[in-house]
Amino acid sequence: MGLTGLDIFKQLPKTNCGDCGVPTCLAFAMKLAQKQASLDQCPHVSEEATAALSGAAAPPIKLITVGADERKLEVGNETVLFRHEETFYHPTGIAVAVDAALPEAELSARIKAIGDVSFERVGQTLTLNAVALKGEGEAFVKAAALAAQQSAVPLILVNEDPAVMGEALKACAGKRPLIYAATAENVDAMAALSKEHNCPLAVRGSDLSSLADLSEKAQAAGAADLVLDSGAREPAAVLANETAIRRAALRKRFRPLGFPTIVFTDGADPLEETQQAATYIAKYAGIVVINNMEPWELLTLVTVRQNIYTDPQKPIQIEEGLYEIGSPDESSPVLVTTNFSLTYFTVEGDVEASRVPAWVVVVDTEGTSVLTAWAAEKFTAEIIAEKVKAFDVASKVNHRKLVIPGHVAVLSGKLEDELSQEWKIVVGPRESSGIPTFLRTSWEA
């Protein structure tokens, strides 16, 4: 829970001088509580109050960045235990383990393959997020240099020898890899490397208590950006620890555990690994490291992740506009639908299945489906007519027929009126699955 306006007010000077841009300290406190102002706008706040308020304002789970370019991975900064309470903000990073001892060509191919994985689903591009490089000695340093040079995908450097890690970090200068891991044996040296190279540091305990101790030691030694590994590898223990860490950070504001986590699957079998990784994505891994790259496994995991990290209050939606499916021409049909992604992509798939190229007028209904949008008056005759005109559909076709979803057949007459009787409204099938038959058998320009 964040501080209330009254909690903040108690820390302010209470002079009502107005230098912060609002007339009273209480009004300023209220703005701060609503995150509409920042503390530095009050030039009179004391150092003690600044320390108290800044600490309280810090997120319960720190945002950690791994990598340094456009593919950087951000994890943490979550605020709820359950997605329906608000949303989850930073999707679990999926990393694939790579053995640094592989022959160079194989190593290079595997790193490239990780960076190249890409799935399109409901209009979003889903990719993997990190290479977890494991190895020893000189081979590890060489492999780190190769990975840093070859790929923009963030690196997790898995090696517990501070001397080797130091060399690997020099080879990855500017790439901001995640150092894995500080343990009871090496925490001071690893924390020093984290500070020197400005790289995040994973700390691994043998249980939650030792993990909290290590977290405090690493921070005291200058490592500010941590990722937590409870050390568990057996699925039930991982799940219990992940849940306990999230609860401690959010419910108790327990700072030593206020960081995102990293987990490793423990099996070589892809099916077992998929089950484990999907579980960890659901609760509450910041990064999950897998060993296999079966396409079906990756598709499963990125799909699970996409669903869990979709804001439940904001349906996935596409931009409104006039879309082309296939290569439509002036005699092609014109269909109308809403911008709810699942609706649009279902329609798109069914139009493609018909093999009849078509134009689709997509109306912004704030990501709601046809019937919901109609019931909420976001998919009315007036709105559809306005979009048909705005997208200049008439300039694309030599006919004047507009196919509307069968569920909103009731809009026909009004829509023809709104379009000045220039267009004939054709009632299409009630379900998208009827589109192929409809377009093949009933459509005539």
Where along the sequence are the contacts to ligand SF4 (CB under 6 A)? 12-13, 15-20, 24-25, 28, 42, 44
Minimum gap (Å) between residue 55 Cβ and ligand SF4:
19
Tokens representing residue 290 in the block: 């897998």
Using DSSP, state whether 286 is helix, strand or coil. coil
Minimum gap (Å) between residue 21 Cβ and ligand SF4:
8
Query: Backbone phi, then psi, for 309, in 5-degree steps?
Result: -100, 15
Cβ-based nearer residue to ligand SF4, 20 or 128: 20
What's the rounded Cα separation, in Å, for the pair 306 and 202? 25
Minimum gap (Å) between residue 349 Cβ and ligand SF4:
56
Query: Backbone phi, then psi, for 133, in 5-degree steps?
Result: -85, 120
Alpha-helical runs (H) found in 312-369: 341-354
Cβ-based nearer residue to ligand SF4, 15 or 124: 15
Strand partners, 202: 180, 227
Cα angle: 83, vertex 349, 444; to 5 degrees: 140
Minimum gap (Å) between residue 162 Cβ and ligand SF4:
47
Cβ-based nearer residue to ligand SF4, 44 or 440: 44
**Residue 148 · residue 69 · CB < 8 Å:** no
Query: Backbone phi, then psi, for 302, in 5-degree steps?
Result: -70, -30
Minimum gap (Å) between residue 43 Cβ and ligand SF4:
6
Strand partners, 201: 179, 226
Cβ-based nearer residue to ligand SF4, 37 or 238: 37
Tokens representing residue 293 in the block: 């790259």
Minimum gap (Å) between residue 44 Cβ and ligand SF4:
4
Alpha-helical runs (H) found in 230-340: 235-251, 270-282, 295-308
Cβ-based nearer residue to ligand SF4, 18 or 413: 18
Minimum gap (Å) between residue 230 Cβ and ligand SF4:
42
Minimum gap (Å) between residue 272 Cβ and ligand SF4:
57
Cβ-based nearer residue to ligand SF4, 49 or 308: 49
Cβ-based nearer residue to ligand SF4, 57 or 146: 57
Cβ-based nearer residue to ligand SF4, 45 or 171: 45
**Residue 359 · residue 337 · CB < 8 Å:** no
Minimum gap (Å) between residue 1 Cβ and ligand SF4:
22
Burial 16-36 (b: 16+ CB within 10 A, else e): eeeebebebbbbbbbbbbeee
Using DSSP, state whether 289 is helix, strand or coil. strand
Cβ-based nearer residue to ligand SF4, 16 or 79: 16
Cβ-based nearer residue to ligand SF4, 18 or 312: 18
Q: How many CA atoms lie within 13 A of 441 on its CB side?
A: 7
* DSSP-assigned letters across all residues of 29-86: HHHHHTTSS-GGG-TT--HHHHHHHHHHHS-SS--EEESSSTT-EEE-----SSGGGS
Minimum gap (Å) between residue 14 Cβ and ligand SF4:
7
Strand partners, 322: 361
